[in-house]
Amino acid sequence: MPERLGAVWVIAELTGNRLTEVSLELLGKARALAAQGGGSHTSAVLMGNDTGSLAEELIVHGADRVFLIEDPRLALYQNDLHAFVLADLIKKHHPEIVLFAASYCGSELSATVAARLGTGLAAHCTDLRIDDRGELVQVVPAFGGTVLGDIFCRETRPRMASVKPGIFPKPEREATRTGEVIKETAAVLEGYKSPLKAVRIVRRQPPELPLEKAPAVVAGGWGVGAEGWHFLEKLAGELGGAVGCTRPALDEGWAQSEDALIGTSGKTVRPRIYLGFGISGSAHHIVGMKDSGVVININQDPDAPVFRISDYGAVADAKEFLPVLLEKIREHKEE
C-alpha cells in the first residue's frame, strides 16, 4: 500500500483584487488528487494586501485551509518578493504537491520557487493524477504536442506543476462549505531590499467574453492576413462567440492581445463550435482546441494537417471565404 499523500496546495492568483478562474479550476483538481492519495487535505495560498475577503471564496470552491499572507509589499505581484515568501511558507509546512497556474505570473513564480527549493517542476501540464504507487503523474505535451509525456518527481519534495487555464473544470460553489483560514506573515522579507521597482501600472480591460468561456470560437491564422482579420471579429459577433488566433497572427499584431492565443503557449478552449480560417494545423495550436465540439476549418491547402481533426472543411482562400460566409449568415438571420 502506498503511503497516504501529504497536503496538496494551490497557489491562488489574483487579477486586481479578484481570484482568477484558473485558481478555482486548480482547487477542483487538487481535491481529486487528495482523494486519490488517501484523503489528504487541500490548501490554498493567498498572498496580497487587503485580500482576506477572498479566502472564503477559496473555501467554498474546495479549500480545506487557506494560508493568508497580507502585506503592503505583496499588493503588486513581484517575482522576488512573492518567491521569497512562498518558498519560506513551503519550508515551514512541507506540502506534498504544489500547483500553480501556467499564466505569465504563475510560470515565472513557479520556476523561481522550484529553483529556491531545489525541487522539480513540470510546466504547462494537461493532466495530473496519482498512480497506484502514490506517485504524482504530471502529463505534458511533447514534440510540439504530438505526444503526451508522463513526468515524475521521485527524489525531491514538494512535487510542483503548473497548469494552463481551461484544462480542468471549475468546481461548483458550495455555499455551506467551511474551512480554516491560517494567517501567516511576510517576516522573511525583513531587511530585504528588492532591486526591482514598479515604474508604471497599465490596466487592460479584460474581454467581455473570455475565449475559454465562448460557446463559439472563430480562430484565424496566417492565411487570413491583416486585411481579413476584421471579418473574423464580425463573424464572432454574429455567432455570439470570441476570436482566437495562432502564434503567427499574434506576432503580426492582427490579434489584439495574447488572451486570444490558442495552443501550447496559450489557452485551451472547448467551444460547442470551432471555426478555423487559414490555420495550417500545427501541433502547437491543435493541442489547445482538439476537444472542441464541432470543428470546421477553411484552408486553401487540401493537404493541410488541420483537416485531419476537422468534422467539416472547405478548400478555399480564407480571405475570400470569410466575407461570403458572413453575408450568408446575416441573410439567414434575417429570414
Written as one string, the DSSP assignment of 142-166 is EGGGTEEEEE---SSSSEEEEE-TT
Shared-domain flag, residues 162 and 219: no
Shared-domain flag, residues 172 and 283: no
One DSSP character per residue, 44-67 reads EEEEESS-GGGHHHHHHTT-SEEE
One DSSP character per residue, 262-305 reads BSTTSB----SEEEEES----HHHHTTTTT-SEEEEEES-TT-G
Q: Which residues of 126-157 are buried (b: 16+ CB within 10 A; e: fewer)?
A: bebebeeeebbebbbbeeebeeeeebebeeeb
Instruction: Using the 3D structure, point to which of 189, 221, 245 is the last residue of a domain.
Output: 189
Shared-domain flag, residues 142 and 222: no
Residue 198 lies in a domain: no
Q: State the average pLDDT for the chain.
A: 92
pLDDT at 118 over 80: yes
Shared-domain flag, residues 109 and 24: yes
Residue 122 lies in a domain: yes
Q: Which three cell numbers stand for residue 316?
A: 478555399
Shared-domain flag, residues 17 and 90: yes
Contact, 30 vs 62, CB < 8 A?
A: yes
Residue 203 lies in a domain: no
Distance CA 83, CA 90 (A): 10
Shared-domain flag, residues 30 and 164: yes
Shared-domain flag, residues 117 and 229: no
Which tops the pLDDT comparison, 207 or 123? 123
Domain count, the chain: 2
Q: Which residues of 47-72 are buried (b: 16+ CB within 10 A; e: fewer)?
A: bbeebeebbbbbbbbbbbbbbbbbbe
pLDDT at 48: 96
Per-residue pLDDT tens over the stretch 198-244: 898 887 777 788 898 899 999 999 999 999 999 999 999 999 999 99
> What predicted TM-score, i.e. pTM, was given to this entire model?
0.83
Shared-domain flag, residues 249 and 148: no
Shared-domain flag, residues 60 and 140: yes
Per-residue pLDDT tens over the stretch 155-187: 999 999 999 888 899 999 999 999 999 999 999
What is the 8-class DSSP label of residue 79?
H
Q: Which three cell numbers stand for residue 230?
A: 476584421
State which residues form the domain around 304.
211-334
Shared-domain flag, residues 138 and 169: yes
Kindly report the CATH number assigned to the domain that includes residue 289.
Answer: 3.40.50.1220
Shared-domain flag, residues 29 and 160: yes
Q: How far is CA 136 from CA 123, 130, 139, 255, 276, in A?
A: 14, 5, 10, 37, 36
Shared-domain flag, residues 251 and 181: no
pLDDT at 1 over 50: no
Q: What is the largest CA-CA distance in the chain?
A: 71
